[in-house]
Amino acid sequence: MSVHNRLKSYRHKFEMNQTEFAAFLEISHDQYNRYERNKRQPTLEIALKISDKLGCPVNEIFYIVDNQCAT
């Protein structure tokens, strides 16, 4: 299982580029880029901060994907 996110969808909804969206979320562009590409996962504190900034529950932004193949 791995954690994925819908950050790119939210960014497009706000019609912002990554730099603008990162500034809106009050995190660095590099940090945001790693989150959007699922290279890193935010801490719970940062995930809650992002959730608050976007005005939606954290589980609507971040979700778990089961990577196991069905047999």
How do the domains of the chain map onto residue ranges? 2-65
4 forms beta bridges with: 63
pLDDT of residue 68: 72
- Mapped to the 3 state alphabet, what secondary structure does the chain carry? CEEEECHHHHHHHCCCCHHHHHHHHCCCHHHHHHHHCCCCCCCHHHHHHHHHHHCCCHHHHEEEECCCCCC
Banded model confidence at residue 69, pLDDT cuts 50, 70, 90: low
pLDDT for 71 beyond 70 = no
The structural architecture, per CATH, of the domain 2-65 is: Orthogonal Bundle (1.10)
pTM over 0.75, yes/no: yes
Q: What is the pLDDT of residues 23-58, one digit of tens each?
A: 999 999 999 999 999 999 999 999 999 999 999 999
